[in-house]
Structure 1
Amino acid sequence: MKLSYYTDSLAHLSLEEVLKKITEKDIYHIELGTGGWSPAPHLKLNDLLNNESSLSDLKALLSKYNVEIVALNCSGNPLDPGELGKEHRDVTEKTFQLAEKLGVKKIVMMSGLPPASPKDEMPNWITTTVSWTPQLKDALEYQWNDVAIPYWKKLVEIAKKHGVEKVALENHGTQLVYNSKTLLKLRNAVDPIIGMNLDPSHLLWMGADPIQCARELEGLIYHMHGKDLRIEKYRVALNTLIETKEIEDTKNRAWNYVAIGYGHDLQWWKTFFSVIRMVGYDDFISLEMEDFTMPPESGVNISIKALKEILI
């Protein structure tokens, strides 16, 4: 496995500054955000699609630092019923177009989350038993069978037309696909082009064990984010893992994204990656750093150092 870097983690820097910083640490592969939840700080999607000189400039910059794009990331909610969903669907299809121009074969994104009925205006993440209230069962079936599966069947055909070979869905909360079971449900209903972008941090706050999840996902892991998470036990003991506070309110949250090693020690990470190798994944681990307890550069430097020790 090799280390890559998700550039949004240093969004305040220019792309050239990011490339200079990571290549100084012997990292020559990146995952590049194109839009969706990402503000796409390092590219202008429409400009790259419509201006050949801009595309050439990007390629020249990457060549200057000998850096390769291993994935484009357009994570968002393409199933949102409003303007946001329209925007994210547009970004997704344009990301496929850009991937073709750049020769990138892998797209990282999220499954999306629809509303609970055709009359709703807000996405609805159903996470409790559908036995009570029983209307939740109908809502969940609507989300999957009437919205998600039809959309994804059309979307993968568009992806294939642009040469995309893998669509790696992040197991993020507030998405229809958030674990191995839901990934299999969508993949089996749609197409094997769909696999998992395995991010252990999200599994941890949802109460799962990423090591055991990796065993379940043998052959289905298409990409990985290297990101740690710390459970704040005092808060959890009082308030549960269900968390609605702002992500920056680290002192009062039940859990926080942290630099690698600040949530789980390096032995845990070594075991995790050992199992990842065992189930056949030998591709890139893309560092994503969202630790709001320290400056971004510090978190990136700490995480790179830790991941290099683990992956050797």
Structure 2
Amino acid sequence: MKLCLNTDSLGHLSFEEMVETSAKIGIESLEIACGNWSDAPHMDLDRMLADEAFRTKYMEKIHSHGLELEALNCSGNQLDPNEEGKAHQSVVEKTFQLAALLDVKKIIMMSGLPGGNPTDTTANWVTTCWPRSTHDILRYQWEDVLIPYWKKTVEQAKEYGITSIALENHGAQCVYNAETLLQLRKEAGPMVGMNLDPSHHIWMGGDGIAMALELGVEAIHHVHAKDLRKERTKFAANGGLETKSFDQYTKRSWNYVALGYGEDERWWNEFVSVLSMMGYDGPLSLEIEDQTMDSLTATKKSIQLLHRVMPRDFD
């Protein structure tokens, strides 16, 4: 397994500083966001597309520090039934174009979430089977929007040399767990796989180890090493459906944290061991959104844990 970094984790650093810091702290490859829900602190997407000399210099900086560009990330909601959805789709298409120019084979995305019917102006995430109108919403979202979109998108990706699209199991998306990923993969084909992020699955009441086993190694295209802590008393009292903003971390039922500050090291040992046992040999892409400590500190502490649990010698 390779130690990768979602570079938004060090979003306060310039591109040059991020690359130099990543190499210094032991990162081996980079997952770089191109826009949409990310501010893309390390990517000027339009300039990268337009300026060959700039692209060359960009990649030389990465390679000169012994790093690889693992994947491009354009996570957003390209199926949002409004102008934002159109803008997100534009970034997706530009990211595909850039992948071809950089010979990047893997894209990290979200599945997207449409409205509940053709006239909706906002996305609608269905999480219950009642009232019965939810069945009509799901049928519309999957049969009329999601499956046709992904069949078309897979064909577009092939034209740009992309071989893997890893969808993050995020809330407020059509694909948010093992079952929904496998359902879409059955329709859209094997290019579509999971970006397995255990943190999101935890707040929904699941377990990342169980999800990995349910998916199988063929359906796991990428793994986000990201942790979450259920806050004492608050989670038990209020559950995981949390709407308070992330900066209100003292009041929330759960928070994203550095690795080992949510699930303990024993859990992370088992998670990585099970992935290895299944035959997964791809990247563990560290993603830090801990609000309780400096992001570089959280990144370093998380790397220390990964060095102990990954099935390889880092000496």
Normalising by the smaller structure, the TM-score range is over 0.9
Query: What's the counterpart of residue 186 of structure 1?
Result: 184
SS in 2 for 1:197: strand
Q: Is the 8 A contact 2:201 2:208 kept in 1?
A: yes
TM-score normalised over the length of structure 2: 0.97
Q: 1:165 aligned to 150, 163, 166, which one?
A: 163
Superposed displacement of residue 209, structure 1: 1.2
- The Cα offsets for residues 218-274 of structure 1, whole Å up to 9 and x where unpaired, read as 121000000011011311222121100001111110110000000011111001111
SS in 2 for 1:223: strand
Superposed displacement of residue 135, structure 1: 1.1
Q: Is the 8 A contact 2:223 2:283 kept in 1?
A: yes
Equivalent residue letter for 2:241? I
SS in 2 for 1:252: coil
* Aligned mates of 1:197, 1:136 — CA distance in 2: 27
Equivalent residue letter for 2:167? L
Query: What's the counterpart of residue 214 of structure 2?
Result: 216
Equivalent residue letter for 1:69? L
Superposed displacement of residue 63, structure 1: 2.4
* Aligned mates of 1:170, 1:32 — CA distance in 2: 15
Between the two proteins, the alignment pairs up a number of residues equal to 310
Query: What's the counterpart of residue 233 of structure 1?
Result: 232
Superposed displacement of residue 13, structure 1: 0.5
Query: What's the counterpart of residue 255 of structure 2?
Result: 256
Query: What's the counterpart of residue 23 of structure 2?
Result: 23
Query: What's the counterpart of residue 97 of structure 1?
Result: 97
* Aligned mates of 2:36, 2:187 — CA distance in 1: 24
Equivalent residue letter for 1:112? G
SS in 1 for 2:212: helix
**C-alpha RMSD of matched pairs (Å):** 0.9
Q: Is the 8 A contact 2:71 2:106 kept in 1?
A: yes
Q: Is the 8 A contact 2:182 2:215 kept in 1?
A: no
- The Cα offsets for residues 71-94 of structure 1, whole Å up to 9 and x where unpaired, read as 111010010011111111111111
* Aligned mates of 1:120, 1:63 — CA distance in 2: 46
- The Cα offsets for residues 118-145 of structure 1, whole Å up to 9 and x where unpaired, read as 111110100011xx21111001100001
Superposed displacement of residue 40, structure 1: 0.7
Query: What's the counterpart of residue 308 of structure 1?
Result: 307
SS in 2 for 1:251: coil
1:3 to 2:6 alignment: no
1:135 to 2:170 alignment: no
SS in 2 for 1:233: coil
* Aligned mates of 2:121, 2:284 — CA distance in 1: 36
Query: What's the counterpart of residue 195 of structure 1?
Result: 193
1:147 to 2:145 alignment: yes
Superposed displacement of residue 24, structure 1: 0.9
Answer with 193-202 or 12-21: which moved more: 12-21
SS in 2 for 1:72: strand
* Aligned mates of 1:15, 1:227 — CA distance in 2: 22
Using the aligned pairs only, state the percent identity. 50
* Aligned mates of 1:40, 1:100 — CA distance in 2: 19
Q: Is the 8 A contact 2:2 2:28 kept in 1?
A: no
Superposed displacement of residue 43, structure 1: 1.2
**Which residues of structure 2 form unaligned runs of 5+?**
none
Superposed displacement of residue 57, structure 1: 1.6
Equivalent residue letter for 1:3? L
TM-score normalised over the length of structure 1: 0.97
Query: What's the counterpart of residue 285 of structure 1?
Result: 284
Q: Give the 5 Å matches for 1:1-150.
A: 1-129=1-129, 132-150=130-148
* Aligned mates of 2:3, 2:17 — CA distance in 1: 18
Equivalent residue letter for 2:46? N
Equivalent residue letter for 1:192? P
SS in 2 for 1:22: helix
**Which residues of structure 1 form unaligned runs of 5+?**
none
Equivalent residue letter for 1:269? W
